[in-house]
Amino acid sequence: MSRAAWCISLVLAAALAGCSKPNKTVEVKTPDGAVTVTGDGGMVEVTGKDGSISRSSSVDGKTVFEGTDASGKAVKAEGGKNVDMSGLGVPQYPGATLKDEGSQLKVETSTGATHGVTLITPDPPQKVVDWYKGQLTDATSMNMPEGAMVMGKSKGGQQVTVTASSEAGKTTIGIVTLKGQ
C-alpha cells in the first residue's frame, strides 16, 4: 500500500471516530498495518511493518506520542502544557512565564533526549542572553537584528541553545537542550 493510501486510512479513521459515540473504537486494517481510533479521537494508534506510533491527549492539555521504529527502538514525545521539563538542564529565566499552552516539548529516544520550551519576559533580549551565558560553559553568543542567541553546555553536559527575540514589546525566549547523540 502506498504512503498516500496509508495517510488516507489514518484520516478516515480519525474522521470516523469523530462522528462516533464516546468509547467506541474504529479500526481500519490494510495489508501493511492498522489504524485504531478510540473514543472521541483521544487515542490514535498506527501499526505497520516499519513500527508503531500512538497519540493520546489528556484533559490537562498534554499530547503524548509513543512508538517504536522497525528495529524496535522506542521513541516518546510529549507536547503542550504540564510536560515534565526537569530534564531541560538549565533554569527558567527569572520572572519568565510560558508563552502559551503549547510551549513545552520533550522527545526521548534510545540515543538521547531533546527538551524545548518557549517563554516570555519583559526584559530585553540581550539581558536574557547575558543571564544564560552565566548558566552555561563554553558559551558562544551572537547578536541578530531582532535579538540574540547563546549556545553552550549545561552543568550536566547537555548542548543548550537559547534564542531571545523582541516581539510585540516583549522578549520571546526559546530554549532547546540536547542530551545524548
Residue 149: what pLDDT? 95
What backbone torsions phi and psi does residue 163 show, to the nearest 5 degrees?
-115, 145
Inter-residue contact 162 to 126 (CB < 8 Å):
no
Residues 3 and 28 in one domain: yes
User: For cell 547578536, what's the residue?
Assistant: 143
Of 29, 49, 69, which marks where a domain is finished? Answer: 49
User: Domains in the chain: how many in total?
Assistant: 2
Are 133 and 170 in the same domain?
A: yes
- Measured between alpha carbons, how far is 74 from 76 in angstroms, rounded to an integer? 7
Q: Tell me, yes or no, whether 22 and 54 share the same domain.
A: no
Q: Is the pLDDT of residue 27 over 60?
A: yes
Instruction: Label residue 24 by pLDDT band (50, 70, 90).
Output: confident
Among 10-24, 45-59, 92-106, 142-156, the range of highest mean pLDDT: 142-156
> Average pLDDT in the 64-85 region?
83
Q: What is the pLDDT of residue 41?
A: 55
Query: Measured between alpha carbons, how far is residue 125 from residues 62, 154, 175 in Å?
Result: 29, 20, 13
Domain that holds residue 1: 1-49
Is the pLDDT at 22 greater than 60? The verdict is no
Q: Say how far apart CA 85 and CA 18 lie, in whole Å.
A: 32
